[in-house]
Structure 1
Amino acid sequence: MNLRRLWAVVLKELRQMRRDRITLAMIVGIPVMQLVLFGYAINLNVRGLAAGIADQANTAGSRAAVMDLLATGVVAPVVETRTPDELVALLRRGEISVGIAVPPDFEQRKAQGREAVQVMVDGSDTSVQGAAAQLAQMPLDGSARLREAPLASTPPAAPIDVVAFYNPERRSAVNIVPGLIGVILTMTMVLFTGVSIVRERERGNMELLIATPLSRTELMVGKVLPFIAIGLVQTTVILALGLWLFTVPVRGSVLDVYLAAGLLILANLTLGLMISTKAQSQFQAMQMTFFVFLPSILLSGFMFPFAGMPQVVRWLAEVLPLTHFLRLIRGIMLRGAGLAEMWIDVAALLAFTAVMMGAAILRFHKRLD
């Protein structure tokens, strides 16, 4: 082995890597991004869950009990209602994660040692359900101290009754399978379209496209449309397997499920087109796709609780299509909500699609350079 020739090859690879700015950015960017995300953004201790309060007793004792629950930091009040039924409606629409209902006979129930407060939890997110279960340990005596364990011979009735809606069995599959639809569509749709324009250039087909009377918009839309059908087929496969293997319910409209999937597919396809106009090779397109996919799966609430993240990270996560899709698909499949009730997330996906599609069309030019 000639060390001089070997060193020449090493220098050649280093120089080529230096010219490839995207690869150079990935070498530094991926470790930094993972360190920041796992060290700062990912927090398994869920705090500040959006809570609704319905205090029908409205006494000094009931208000003190509610303050005890809020003092834990697990829940944060965002809305007050008059009846528990309104709390259930807010849970179904995904506007709150926890509902605190205090009955009119609160003082009498407390004196009798019966359940005096009901905490309703959105069980479609198992991390939220586990965090809210801590509230059952709280006393209702105006203090925020945890109850001491009672003697086994005289177990008192728990003053707080925690009820999990939509997934009382706390089955992980019920929470994971709907989210997998979004994760798989994000990975495949962005990757497919991310390499589409680059592949035409590498195979020499760009010359043929340049010679056609196609406009930039027609070419971009034509690239997107075939993958919509592929994405819907993937959605069907995941739904069928989820129902067959894991008995995952679809409590809402199946049409709404496909409409929500279609919104995510369009958002991811336009994002892939944007990547395709930037990448110079298929390898670069795959690198950029991974750079987008990693924060999507970590910050969207699929793997880690969204409520445990810092506020700045939540703002960043709101830009990701997968964040809004997870709210839609879990709301439809697990809580029986409709798209109209979650119109904010629908509007966010439509806006993302419009911005990415417009940017991709403006960046693409029918020429080889």
Structure 2
Amino acid sequence: MSRFTRSVLRSKTFLLSFPRSTLPNNKKPRDAERNKERRFWSAATCCRFESANMSAHCKIIADRRRPPLLVKNMKHKLFRGLGAILFKEFIVVWRDPLTLFFFFFPPLIEMIAFGYALDNDVKHMAMIVLNEDRTVESRQLIDRFVNTESFRVVGEVQNLEELKSAMRIQTGLGVALTQSLESLLRETGRKGMPIDVRPQMLYNPAMRAPNFFVPGVIGVVLQIGTTVAAAMALVRERERGTLEQLLVSPLSRSGLMLGKLVPYLCIGMTMAAVLFTIMRFVFFVPIEGNIFAMMFSTLVYVFALLSLGLLVGTMAENQMQALQMSMVFLLPSVFFSGFIFPRETMPWIFYALGALFPTTYFIALMRAIILRGANFFEYWPNLLVLILMSNLLFILCALRFRRKIA
């Protein structure tokens, strides 16, 4: 046997199958005995080896490279049983009217109610005027109030006894206005005002309140629907005893959590699409930025909220506790996320507290994309924090589920 033939026979990457008659004592090669346990690609080539002592035909079949055991085991542990739990959760959610009710009905009502109720503009305040001066200047001042949307003059009174809610113009208003203007011009040393200051709004020229509040309303409404529904679904399944059946099945904890998240994630994104449609065609809020960036940010945000909801579900003992604990996370998100009050004007402790909630970064993202039309380089810090926060919440949820329930 030549040296080349011996090197081929000793190679670990080939399988040499010889006729039984050409082998000593009719024994098969060791690799041939494992032929049933291994998977191979199609035959690569056929060659003929000739020497002085033996001549045989051998088929060389390339063996498939197997992935490292560590990577294979990690994939097996993380995604074991994921398809089965996905199919099961989709059926359970579809047959559970209470979960669908929490996802769709309350968010729609809250979206419409908050969208119309939240308005920081003071409009149509009833006012009664007591004009004691009765000059041209006093009448011009009253006309300025009449011609605005902030006040509504409902009448004038003649004495203080008739006055209940009024703006009182005292005697000598015209003289006081003239003297104050002359004093101002004398101090500045100018005869007129050479500079005409006209402020211009860049991103909301009409000063419409829905353009500012409705993107934030979507973040709050999504948190109410997704967090409460996910928490109560997990607690309800544990109360029915079906969760223990899943625990004894060959499912990984991460695969079980991910399988429970995906159906609710699909429902949450459907709910988000409905809310964006209401924002655009009911409140007439224009979308200045990229719609794909808006939906991707919403996907990350809904994933973070569902992870938070499942985390609450692992800590609650019953559905009432799950609902109450969800409200504990909701109220700080409303007040400290910048939804109503600017975060820059808050004390530092409340500013830092607002940075712990995903709603803070989602509202900033939505206002940047929808209102300002910002590009990726302007809003990527908020998006990065939201992605990290969603992954952290999912990991905490899986660990808590493994230690507390399993």
The TM-score, its normalising length taken from structure 1, stands at 0.56
Structure 2 partner of 1:314 = 351
Structure 2 partner of 1:41 = none
- Matched-pair identity in %: 34
Structure 2 partner of 1:214 = 251
Alpha-carbon distance between aligned partners in 2 of 1:281 and 1:158, rounded to the nearest angstrom: 67
Q: Quickly say closer, same or farther: Cα 1:149–1:202, change in 2 above 3 A.
A: farther
Q: Quickly say closer, same or farther: Cα 1:216–1:150, change in 2 above 3 A.
A: farther
Among residues 269, 272, 285, which one is paired with 2:306 in the alignment? 269
Q: Is the 8 A contact 1:275 1:285 kept in 2?
A: yes
Alpha-carbon distance between aligned partners in 2 of 1:312 and 1:158, rounded to the nearest angstrom: 42
Q: 1:188 is aligned with what amino acid?
A: G
Question: Where does 1:188-267 land on structure 2 (aligned, <5 Å)?
Answer: 188-267=225-304
Alpha-carbon distance between aligned partners in 1 of 2:405 and 2:360, rounded to the nearest angstrom: 36
Question: CA offsets per residue over residues 162-210 of structure 1, 9 Å max, x none?
Answer: 2211101110111111111111111111111112221111111122212
Q: Quickly say closer, same or farther: Cα 1:155–1:190, change in 2 above 3 A.
A: farther
Structure 1: gaps spanning 5 or more residues: 1-43, 45-147
Question: CA offsets per residue over residues 212-247 of structure 1, 9 Å max, x none?
Answer: 211110111111111111121122111111221221
Alpha-carbon distance between aligned partners in 2 of 1:367 and 1:213, rounded to the nearest angstrom: 18
What SS does structure 2 have at the residue aligned with 1:164?
coil
What SS does structure 1 have at the residue aligned with 2:200?
strand
Alpha-carbon distance between aligned partners in 2 of 1:218 and 1:340, rounded to the nearest angstrom: 34
Q: Quickly say closer, same or farther: Cα 1:156–1:187, change in 2 above 3 A.
A: same
Q: Is the 8 A contact 2:223 2:330 kept in 1?
A: yes
Aligned length: 223
Alpha-carbon distance between aligned partners in 1 of 2:250 and 2:341, rounded to the nearest angstrom: 48
Q: Is the 8 A contact 1:191 1:286 kept in 2?
A: yes
Among residues 156, 164, 168, which one is paired with 2:201 in the alignment? 164
Q: Quickly say closer, same or farther: Cα 1:169–1:289, change in 2 above 3 A.
A: same
Among residues 341, 364, 368, which one is paired with 1:331 in the alignment? 368
Q: Is the 8 A contact 2:230 2:313 kept in 1?
A: yes
- 1:157 deviation in Å? 5.7
Alpha-carbon distance between aligned partners in 2 of 1:367 and 1:158, rounded to the nearest angstrom: 69
Larger radius of gyration: 2
Alpha-carbon distance between aligned partners in 2 of 1:285 and 1:344, rounded to the nearest angstrom: 32
- 1:310 deviation in Å? 0.8
Structure 2: gaps spanning 5 or more residues: 1-119, 121-178, 183-190
Alpha-carbon distance between aligned partners in 2 of 1:322 and 1:149, rounded to the nearest angstrom: 50
Larger relative contact order, structure 1 or 2 (CA cutoff 8 Å, min sep 6): 1
- Bigger Cα displacement from structure 2, 235-244 vs 259-268: 235-244
- Which runs of at least 4 in structure 1 moved beyond 4 Å after TM superposition? 148-151, 157-160, 366-369
The TM-score, its normalising length taken from structure 2, stands at 0.51
Alpha-carbon distance between aligned partners in 1 of 2:334 and 2:195, rounded to the nearest angstrom: 38
Q: What is the CA RMSD across the aligned residues, in angstroms?
A: 2.5
